[in-house]
Amino acid sequence: MGVLSNRITKLLESETLQMAAISREMRAKGIDIIDLSIGEPDFDTPENIRIAAKQAIDQGYTHYTPVSGYIDVRESIVRKLKRDNNLDFITEQIILSTGAKQSIANVVLSIIDEGDEAIIPAPYWITYLAQVQLAGGNNVIINTNMECDYKITPQQLEDAITINTKLFVFSSPCNPSGSVYSYEELKSLVQVFEKYPNIIIISDEIYEYINYEGKHVSIAQFPSIKDRVVVVNGLSKGYAMTGWRLGYIAAPVDIARACTKMQGQFTSATCSITQRACIEAMDGDQSSVKSMLNHFYNRKELVKNRLSKIPGIRYNDPAGAFYFFPDISHFFGAIHSSYIINDAGDLVNYLLQEAHVALVSGKAFGNPECIRISYATSEDKLHIAFDRIEKALEALIIPEHEVVS
């Protein structure tokens, strides 16, 4: 009899975290690795938020908090949702967790039973699948491609729904593609959901503030389905607060209560100091958020320009987040010394070992012909990284096929 459960032995490790760990190990050996694998802004947390956290320590906010979070912190999120999204919630519907990842896990574990189906568009954030698997559910994947900007159609959604469908999970702006659903695109999906009142929708909006096309649109803004939508958000991406660990949901009351019950048996409340800082993040000066968005946009344009100069790479122009998700299948079958590039994983490994640039294979996100490039780092590092990538790709012997421009 094995010591470990089937649950854990069948669970795949996050490839983004795996690549980050490998990069750290190589750096520890003195190798100059440029890490474009992990989704972490390189900015420090804005000063006004850091000051609020220091004040919270001095004021004695160092004790346990309610499992769902301090009520005045949840009130600040209620105000944010009204101000930025025109969404009306009450504090009982807001649950604070140790990052948006735990927020989603709480919801999935509170909703999914053995055999239930969760519809997930690909490319997807890899954790969605793992969490449904842990809950005993079955993942139903809707495949997309670059030609449709990695977004699903209403017909694809309709075709994926069965009597076992319990959940739909997606992100906009999307990790890893950077795609953003427009109001009209969401409206067309809502018209499908209106026919199926038993389906819960998790809308992962953690990249809300990194949107290059204008105001963010939430699927919760459609009244006909709002009572079935769980909005997931947090502080990590928009406020450069990855290490602070605060995510939140805005959910129907019954789901919010279930998540409080679930969280109470795992972690209880998230960090008291982070919660106090959250009030400043929600209500305070937002100029740092806008400044970071401008930097991300400049980096996006830099990467787009560099990708355009590499023969064989196809890419879309992401409307949000801080990733490119290019198709690199042109290089499949290429060789170099002891390397044979059979798939995206081989190419990622080749670029790590030979170019010392860390990326993530698209297989982890459901699109095995792609790779994910994070541009959440400085322009100087991005230029150096692409100099290395170009040199390494030029060294490959490419099989005979037409170059796609």
The full DSSP string for 200-224 is: EEEEE-TTTT-BSSSS---GGG-TT
Beta-strand pair 334-336/34-35: unpaired
DSSP-derived 3-state class of residue 143: strand
**Does residue 388 carry a pLDDT above 80?**
yes
Q: Which residue has the tokens 């025109």?
A: 86
User: How many angstroms separate the CA atoms of 362 and 230, rounded?
Assistant: 27
pLDDT classification of 184: cutoffs 50, 70, 90:
very high
Structural domains of the chain sorted by starting position, each given as residue range(s) with its CATH number in brackets = 6-44+288-394 (3.90.1150.10), 63-285 (3.40.640.10)
**Could you tell me if 281 and 239 are in contact, meaning their C-beta atoms sit under 8 angstroms apart?**
yes
Q: CA 300, 304, 314 angle in degrees (round to 5)? A: 130
Report how far Cα 366 is from the mean position of its chain's Cα atoms.
14
Q: Which two tokens stand for residue 226?
A: 């709002």
DSSP secondary structure string, 159-214? HH--TTEEEEEEESS-TTT-----HHHHHHHHHHHTT-TT-EEEEE-TTTT-BSSS
Q: Say how many residues make up the chain.
A: 405
Q: What percent of the chain has pLDDT over 70?
A: 99
Q: Which two tokens stand for residue 307?
A: 């990708």
Question: 401 versus 244: which is more confidently predicted?
Answer: 244
* Dihedral sign, Cα of residue 379, residue 217, residue 259, residue 14: negative
Q: Which pLDDT value is given to residue 337?
A: 85
**Does residue 405 carry a pLDDT above 60?**
no
Q: Which pLDDT value is given to residue 1?
A: 54
**Could you tell me if 368 and 400 are in contact, meaning their C-beta atoms sit under 8 angstroms apart?**
no
**Could you tell me if 142 and 177 are in contact, meaning their C-beta atoms sit under 8 angstroms apart?**
no
Report which of 237, 260, 253, 278 is spatially closest to residue 77, judged by C-alpha positions. Answer: 278
**Across 232-244, average pLDDT:** 98
Q: Which pLDDT value is given to residue 76?
A: 98
pLDDT digits 0-9 by tens, 242-271: 999 999 999 999 999 999 999 999 999 999
User: How many angstroms separate the CA atoms of 372 and 327, rounded?
Assistant: 9
Q: Which residue has the tokens 């996006």?
A: 300
pLDDT digits 0-9 by tens, 12-61: 777 777 777 888 888 888 889 999 998 999 999 999 999 999 999 999 99
Q: How far is CA 177 from CA 100, 107, 122, 379, in A?
A: 19, 24, 9, 20
**Does residue 319 carry a pLDDT above 90?**
yes
DSSP-derived 3-state class of residue 148: helix
Q: Which residues pair with 124 in a beta bridge?
A: none
Q: Which residues of 348-378 are buried (b: 16+ CB within 10 A; e: fewer)?
A: bbbbbebbbbbbbbbbbbbbbbbbbbbbbbe
**Could you tell me if 202 and 110 are in contact, meaning their C-beta atoms sit under 8 angstroms apart?**
no
Average pLDDT, the chain: 95
Q: CA 64, 65, 71 angle in degrees (round to 5)? A: 165
Q: Which two tokens stand for residue 27?
A: 């750096």
DSSP-derived 3-state class of residue 279: helix
Q: Which pLDDT value is given to residue 401?
A: 58
Q: What stretches of 216-375 show up as alpha helix (H) in DSSP?
A: 253-264, 272-283, 287-307, 344-350
Q: Which two tokens stand for residue 73?
A: 């912190």
